[in-house]
Structure 1
Amino acid sequence: MTFLVTAATGRTSSGVVRHLRAAGEDVRVLVRNREKAQSAFSDLDGIEIVDGAFDDGAVLAKAFNGVDVTFLTIGGNPDQVRLEKAIIDAAAKADRPHVVKLSSIATSHDSALLPGRQHAEIEDHLAVSGLSHTLLRPVSFTDNLLYAAESVAAHNSWAGAAPTGRVAYIDIRDVSEAAALVLRDPTLHGKTHDWSGPDAYTFPEAAALLSKILGREIRYVPVSADERRSALLGAGLAKWYTELFVSLDTAAEAGALQAVTTTLKELLGREPRTVEEFLTENATQFTK
């Protein structure tokens, strides 16, 4: 089979590419920047690069030519809905590959999570496209904890609007590995896969874990959603990304990110990576 991986230099997609190639699969990547992709995959052979705008019909037609299965994600950004819809439309016009879409466990039209609302709109479009498809719905990525690193390094604390909400963080490396397994196994197609890490932490509990790892006291400082929003905007963060960060807090506080599932463990055949493992590996990020 031939696999197309979109936004292939992204955090999740790049791992998917590597797992597919390690399994000997033919991989084509769709990227905006050819040089970046060549650099990212300089140690791999057998990768075909298609570069250009993700809403360019000619680029997308070339990307989908002869493809059997595609991994659909472009990452969270203000244009995600429009661009993923364009990719879906191009797939429907081409050889109609099976589409494996990276979504979110908090996907719904009324989700407290901004990407959850975006994914709901995209999933609706995918459903009416006539394409066979699979949905991957992980909980929040452990990488999101790194957004607190600068504040922790400077002040031994970080602020947020989710003092009691739990998050069953999942490691991106596990998501990439599991996604590649799903892509390659037709018996796993046509389903919705809800994935989480092995434990759900509150932010104060994550702070206590960091304290143990770093050997100094780290505090989580509760603030209101409005205070969080004002602080982010005051620091110069763009409005859309401000709303993304605030929604990560409000979704956690609403309980939308707390579900612990066993499906990832069953698929990988091992325990998923833990939050403690991730924070230990990245401890220096919280001390710079």
Structure 2
Amino acid sequence: MTNKTILVLGGTGKTGRRVARLLEQQGASVRIGSRRAAPPFDWTVPETWKAALDGVGAVYLSYQPDLAFPGATETVRAFVGQAVEQGATRIVLLAGRGEPAAEAAENVVRNSGVEWTVVRASFFAQNFSEDFFQPDVLAGEIVLPVGDAAEPFVDAADIAEVAVAALTGDGHAGQTYDVTGPRLLTFAEVAAELSAALGREIRFVPVSRGEYVEALRAGGMPEEFAELFDLVTDGRNAHLGDGVRRVLGRPPRDFAEFARAAAADGAWNA
């Protein structure tokens, strides 16, 4: 792999900051792609892309807010075109499992003419400890429109290790890695694991999709977030992936291990 700079988009987010940290530990030249970085990067301001891509050989492409949101594919297409034009030769895309819109973005990367790797990830375990559902855990109730559906929650640290291997190593070009945790868990079972880790009761409270949309509206959040739970409730992702083992040669980290570590690190201290 080239010794050029690696641009880590979403470099302050759940996976991006872990990717950046691992790359820095390996001695790589890393540039963080975020609005507060220098130079700044903003998905909504294409004029910021050129400076962020200057001298970049590889890109970790994590799109915000989500590849399933309207306009994401077109934005990714424009960015990838600019990245290739400026000399990037390797792109690692973080995508969601079972998202048709994400698959459209995957095809953009596959047709880019450079080395590409797709990392398809299930719901992050860290969604319960870093934003999203953290306030629910703190309040003792996880209120979501998912019923008894199950998901193979994946640790963001595993995603980062897979991404770094693809960014820096050989043999990953043209590969799509299905990255999940080692078992399926319902959200009620997640609440039980969190309860065990925290030593206090965390309840799962199922609500209808309509009720959840109303709650999003009341909180000023995009209604599209409700669509992400369709990936859970219709069963399309209720199976395990082998991406972590294929790339890292070990099983993925279990949700219970994540919960214990996050609790010990103070993730849910009031």
Structure-2-length-normalised TM-score? 0.84
Counting only pairs closer than 5 Å after superposition, residues 175-194 of structure 1 correspond to structure 2 as 175-194=159-178
| 1:73 lines up with 2:53 in the alignment | no
Q: Among 19, 35, 38, which residue is 1:32 paired with?
A: 35
Q: Which residue, 150, 154, 160 being the options, matches 1:166?
A: 150
1:275 equivalenced with 2:243 (yes/no): no
Query: How many residue pairs were aligned?
Result: 260
Alignment of 1:1-288 (within 5 A): 1=2, 2=4, 3-34=6-37, 49-54=38-43, 59-77=48-66, 80-108=72-100, 117=101, 119-146=102-129, 147-154=132-139, 156-234=140-218, 236-238=219-221, 240=222, 242-244=223-225, 246-283=226-263, 284-286=266-268, 288=270
> Per-residue CA shift, 1:32-87, capped at 9, x if unaligned?
223xxxxxxxxxxxxxx532444666643343344332211133255644543332
In 2, Cα distance between the equivalents of 1:207 and 1:162? 13
Rate the CA distance shift 1:150–1:14 in 2: closer, same or farther, 3 A: closer
With over 3 angstroms needed to count, the CA separation of the structure-2 counterparts of 1:52 and 1:206, relative to structure 1, is closer
Deviates more, 1:132-141 or 1:90-99: 90-99
Contact 1:73 1:84 in 2 (8 A): no
Assess if the C-alpha contact under 8 Å between 1:55 and 1:87 holds in 2. no
**The 10-residue stretch of structure 1 (256-265 or 71-80) with the greater mean CA deviation from structure 2:** 71-80
User: Where in structure 1 are there 5+ consecutive unaligned residues?
Assistant: 35-48, 109-116
Q: 1:94 to 1:168 in 2, by over 3 A?
A: same
Instruction: Answer with 215-224 or 52-61: which moved more.
Output: 52-61
SS in 2 for 1:100: strand
1:82, 1:24 → 2: CA distance? 34
- Sort the Cα spacing of 1:230 and 1:58 in 2 relative to 1 into closer, same or farther, 3 A: closer
How far, CA to CA, are the matches of 1:160 and 1:222 in structure 2? 5
Distance 1:280 1:63, change over 3 A: same
Q: Which structure: larger Rg? A: 1
- Does structure 2 retain, via aligned residues, the 8 Å contact 1:103–1:135? yes
Once residues 257 and 287 of structure 1 are traced to their aligned partners in structure 2, the CA distance between those partners, rounded to angstroms, is 32
In the TM superposition, residue 88 of structure 1 has moved relative to its aligned partner by 0.7
Q: 1:213 to 1:60 in 2, by over 3 A?
A: closer
**Range with bigger deviation, 206-215 or 194-203:** 206-215
Q: Could you tell me how far 1:6 is from its partner in structure 2?
A: 2.2
Seen in structure 2, the aligned counterparts of structure 1 residues 8 and 158 have a Cα distance that, compared at 3 Å, is closer
**Deviation sequence 1:130-171 (CA, Å, 0-9, x none):** 3432111111101122434433433x3222211221111111
Contact 2:97/2:122, CA 8 A, preserved across alignment: yes
Deviation digits for residues 179-215 of structure 1 (CA, Å, limit 9, x no counterpart): 1011111311111111111111001111222233333
Distance in 2 between residues matched to 1:94 and 1:267, nearest whole Å: 29
Q: RMSD over aligned Cα, in angstroms? A: 2.5
